[in-house]
Amino acid sequence: MSYASLKSTSPLIRQLRRAALAVAAASALAGTAQAAADAAPALTLPQALALALAHNPSLRAAHQALAASEGAVLQSQARPNPELAYSQEDTRSSTRSVTLQWNQTVEVGGKRAARMRVAERGRDVAQADLAAAEATLRADVRAAFFGLLAAQQRVSLAGQTLEIARSAREAAAKRVAAGKIAPLEESKARVAESGAQLELAQAQSGLRVARGQMKALWGEAVRPFGEAMGEGSGGVDALPEIPALEALQQRLEQAPAVLRARQVLAQSRATAELERARRLPDPTLSLGVKRATEVGRNQLVVGVSVPLPLLDSNRGNQLQALRLADRAEDELQATRIRLQTQLFEAREQLLASNQQARLLAGEVLPTARTAYELAARGFALGKFAYLDVLDAQRTWSEARSQYLEQLLATQRAAADIERLLGAEPSDRTTP
């Protein structure tokens, strides 16, 4: 069968034609987006962090919660308002008496101090929530940034694969024209080239998604940016250091989740103290003047009133506050255990991904590349079939893709550790 008849009748070739049209449309869209990105300045990790810390809506909400807690602290300092009372006995002008009285409730048992401690501990909880939100945001930005670097690398690798497939197809066409191989070999080369085009379109789509995820962390401050750039050797290939497990354990008590659990426990205990203080009734002091028309003179009125805790001794609120404090203590222990487990898993993932990435970079990738180059050279000399070249090319492409996945997994594990423990003390300032 001639190549022309094969080309017109093969269902695979017709499918490739449709795929080529889809790839062309995607490439046009990607080209427009890429042209806009190339005109914008490059993006670095410190820049991405600065934009997120300044404009992220979730972080702004945590700041507002902290500001609101200041209002609760201010309100807790207030004392009970005085009361101005007016009473009149009898309605006849000759015998009526009018009393004007000033009443003031006096808090006893340390209620005001306990109420202030509850509000201050609530402010500490809001501060811990803010620290946790910032740690989560930093980790999300780091993961999104290295995901963007990986997406850019995938586009580059897919472009290289397409160039290799195109060169192989051209070489196969020349050998078919020279009568050295069957037209089927050129058809296989065209199939491989179309597959590489589809892979490139998918990589470009993934890059657009990664750029959108990065912009989403900035909230409304969506600014155009060009290619993501790692500082120095800090690209996606730069493997993070593996911290010692003992060093991570030492930082565990300063982790945002543990700090928040401790502040919640302190607030619960302060609430229990406040409910205990409320078991004592607050007396009300009264001072006023009474005008008795019948006797024709003013009389000083002095009084004290004390509620009797006979029907309501606040026992239920005390019991509830004590049990909530016990729950907060248990939750603190549970938080420690959960963080230890998650921290161990994240470090193990970091260690495993780091080792696999080094193994792939040191042994698998060079071997796969050498095998492909030998197969391509042998095919050009007529010693190998194109199927051997295709297998070697696929192996090399899969090895590069696996290497990139391990690099990204390493960066994600490092981001998870930062999310759990927060930034190092030297890195907690805004970039």
User: What is residue 197's three-state secondary structure?
Assistant: helix
Q: What is the pLDDT of residues 39-85, one digit of tens each?
A: 678 899 999 999 999 999 999 999 999 999 999 999 999 999 999 99
How does strand 97-105 pair with strand 284-292?
Answer: antiparallel
Q: Where are the alpha helices (DSSP H) in 217-314?
A: 245-251, 256-277
Query: What's the confidence (pLDDT) of residue 184?
Result: 81
Closest CA to 157 of 206, 229, 215, 190: 206
What are residue 228's phi and psi, to 5 degrees? -75, 130
- DSSP characters over 38-90: HHSPPB-HHHHHHHHHHH-HHHHHHHHHHHHHHHHHHHHTPPPPPEEEEEEE-
Do residues 288 and 305 lie in contact, with contact meaning Cβ atoms separated by under 8 Å?
no
Give pLDDT, residue 40: 73
Model confidence, pTM:
0.79
Q: Which residue has the tokens 């497939």?
A: 165
Return the SS3 of 178: coil
pLDDT of residue 16: 44
Placement of tokens 């470090």 in the chain? 347
Query: Rounded distance, CA 66 to CA 267, Å?
Result: 15
Question: Could you tell me how far CA 325 lies from the centroid of its own chain?
Answer: 29
pLDDT score for 50? 92
Measured distance CA(9)–CA(31) in Å, rounded:
33
Which pLDDT score is estimated for 13? 46
Positions of the chain with pLDDT lower than 70, given as ranges:
1-39, 221, 231-234, 424-431
The single residue listed with the structure tokens 């207030």 is 78
Q: What value, to the nearest 5°, has the Cα angle with vertex 263 and ends 260 and 266?
A: 155
**What's the start-to-end Cα distance of the chain, in Å?**
67
| Radius of gyration in angstroms for the set of CA atoms belonging to the chain, rounded to a whole number | 37
pLDDT of residue 397: 85
Mean pLDDT score across all residues of the chain: 85
User: Would you call 232 helix, strand, or coil by DSSP?
Assistant: coil
CB neighbours of residue 388 within 10 Å? 17
In angstroms, the CA 226 to CA 42 distance is: 4
Cβ pair 229, 205 in contact under 8 A: no
pLDDT tens-digit profile of 296-315?
788 899 999 999 988 888 99
DSSP 361: I
Q: Return the CATH number of 12-427, one of 1.20.1050.140, 1.10.1760.20, 1.10.1040.10, 1.20.1600.10.
A: 1.20.1600.10
Q: Which DSSP letter does residue 10 get?
A: -
Show the CA angle centred on residue 250, arms to residues 407 and 236, nearest 5°: 15
pLDDT at 231: 64
Contact 197, 162 (CB under 8 A): yes
- pLDDT given at position 38: 55
Please give the DSSP secondary-structure letter assigned to residue 425.
G
* Angstrom distance (rounded) from CA 269 to CA 155: 56
Q: How far apart are CA 148 and CA 265, in angstroms?
A: 40
Among candidates 388, 12, 409, which has minimal Cα distance to 191? Answer: 12
Contact criterion met (CB below 8 Å) for 63 and 123: no
d(CA 295, CA 11): 119
The residues spanned by each domain of the chain are 12-427
| 294 SS3 class | coil
3-state secondary structure (DSSP) of residue 296: coil
